[in-house]
Chain A
């Protein structure tokens, strides 16, 4: 017999959900509020009502062109995601449907690369980029971001693919489907929610990546993370300007996340309950 859910329970659960959501969202909300304060107001202490000045936005735009950085962010996050999928879909397919004795070990090894602190390989990577002429190039950074997120992409796709019965692929093979046909016309359409949520998550991760995107770029390939970094000042008040720059930098990805939240949640919980 199903347990009855009382109105009181519903109200408590909804209230708790709102409180948790607000706590999670609060840092972003406060950044947005601070961006509408003057520098003096911003450093004075906690206050939820700003004076409503647009001064910081005007200064931020005048000081450095936003759109060049924005364009690079879009290019790098989308480009690295496409590159990651090109590598990850066949990799996840082979591990999900033709696992070998060492498949689990390979998966664990791939994940273990995420446990290494990035700064530990800063110099080798910097030297490779220098010698291959990839410093401050969009292609170089796209490949870098792809490699950073590849373990997560492969793991997510592997999990989704494992939910798809192998018999369907066998049936396709019996009907004469080639390997490419099997992946393109049978597997991919069935895994669309999973692939879509993997893509979205990867775009968000690449958009927010701030270690390599700041350290491997100067002027040509610098994305919005470098744009934000430029507004911190050693001598002089900068909280309001920094908040305005951060708001401008996170706005596109926040809007994208808002519109695609259903897809994202569906993909992330896909196969969670069997």
Chain B
């Protein structure tokens, strides 16, 4: 009896000692398929690192952005790993809010990260966030409707071709809209699309002296083309449509073309969710022959705040979640089609992945076609393809997004929307000290 009590006591004490030794890291993330999958697969990490336990905090995208910003700015230390986007990384790294990722391990192979993605996550040559999944944007189109219209989608279409195809594919009687594009206001919603589109029209947010450029003809051409196209061939109530609304329309066969994030390809080609899964073709985002395409570049990435007390454990986790090994783990458990896309060149060289994801080549080509450091035809003082990497952009981008959404809804004219955008941008940039 005494021996049993003693043994139990020793076991409890050792369990307690282990628990006390185990380091617990908190990871803030968004709710999407790839992130949820990662949470389910963490046994693989904890088995290899029994001294580290993982706590997950999943938040709505805007709340996550606000929460991690508050925490990192105050050095609150609530999170050890944060999921952040390409927009935050250059701003936060310059503020010294993020730790450089220099202990990812010998077998991490950072050179395998797609250069365009790595460029967006690096400052002064140092990587400050590891990409979990990356995306660009491209054209997804219905091959059957294109054929019916008597057209062939080129691999690299122009905006004029898109307009021509949309006009021919629109069939209101059968509920088919020639084209579905984002209209919902927000810097990450309609302005992501419109800013990328404006790059291909030769427009830019600011000139080299940070003077807003909405009063220039390039912006007028961009917005007028967009509004006219959507009025003629877009869905009803397009000014309320974001990624998810257009996804549902496309999956239900109500869009001839949809220009949006490359990650959408896995949704529209999934026969369980999409009624048009076997009829989807892919092409690069359109251009106007000016040397820039209307596609963006984004990566949800894992970064480590400078305020963490558990930097080593956090780096171990980031290394695991963004490694080649993780891609192989997902492939083994859930198939190659479910591997997070857009981060590593080796994934696109993998024959099994190419077979499972017919959109793989076009995704890689789209990512490679985006250059966050030289996003526009004319020179600009900022980085970012579909955003301007300055702290003021979130607020300003959403304000301009609301004005452009109103123009799409017919509540204001294109000229009025551009004039108000110019005024709002001038006020913000003057207040921020960019314009002296």
Contact = CB atoms under 8 A, between A and B. Distances in A.
Interface stretch (A29-37, A162-170, A185-193, A233-241): A233-241
Interface stretch (A76-84, A91-99, A212-220, A262-270): A212-220
Interface string B10-43: 0000000000000000101011110010010000
Interface residues on B, range: 35 or more
Interface stretch (B87-95, B206-214, B239-247, B422-430): B239-247
B31 A43 contact: no
Interface stretch (B69-77, B116-124, B141-149, B373-381): B69-77
Contacts of B70: 122-123, 126, 215
Contact of B261 (A44, A235, A238): A235
A214 B26 contact: no
A236 B33 contact: yes
Interface string B234-277: 00000000011101100110000000010110010000010000
Contacts of B435: none
Contacts of A123: 70, 74
A6 interface: no
A214 B248 contact: no
Interface stretch (B54-62, B316-324, B331-339, B356-364): B54-62
B55 A214 contact: no
B248 A136 contact: no
Contact of B78 (A64, A218, A229, A231): A218
B314 to A, nearest CB: 15
B67 interface: yes
Contact of A40 (B31, B78, B273): B273
Contacts of A231: 31
B196 to A, nearest CB: 16
B247 A237 contact: yes
Size bracket of the A interface: 20 to 34
A222 B67 CA distance: 14
A226 B57 CA distance: 9
Nearest to B67: A215
B59 A237 contact: no
B26 A218 contact: yes
Contacts of B261: 235
Contact of A235 (B26, B74, B243): B243
A214 B56 CA distance: 14
Interface string A26-51: 00000000000001100110000000
B78 to A, nearest CB: 5
Contacts of B26: 218-219
A271 B261 CA distance: 60
Contacts of A63: 36, 39
A234 to B, nearest CB: 4
| Residue of A122, A130, A229, A235 contacting most chain B CB atoms (<10 Å) | A235
Nearest to B248: A43
B52 to A, nearest CB: 15
B60 A230 contact: yes
B63 interface: yes
A122 B76 CA distance: 13
A218 B74 contact: no
Contact of A44 (B32, B36, B248): B248
A236 B55 contact: no
Contacts of A215: 66-67, 70
21 contacts: A39-B273, A43-B245, A44-B248, A63-B39, A64-B58, A126-B71, A126-B76, A127-B74, A130-B77, A135-B78, A218-B28, A229-B59, A229-B60, A230-B31, A230-B58, A231-B31, A233-B30, A233-B244, A234-B188, A235-B261, A236-B33
Interface of A: 39-40, 43-44, 63-64, 122-123, 126-127, 130, 135-136, 214-215, 218-219, 222, 226, 229-238
Interface of B: 26, 28, 30-33, 36, 39, 55-61, 63, 66-67, 70-71, 74-79, 188, 243-245, 247-248, 251-252, 261, 263-264, 267, 273
Given A214-B67, A230-B58, 11 more contacts: A40-B252, A44-B252, A126-B71, A215-B67, A218-B79, A230-B59, A234-B32, A235-B261, A235-B263, A236-B31, A236-B33
Sort A-B residue pairs by CB-CB distance and give the 3 closest, nearest first: A230-B58, A232-B60, A43-B248
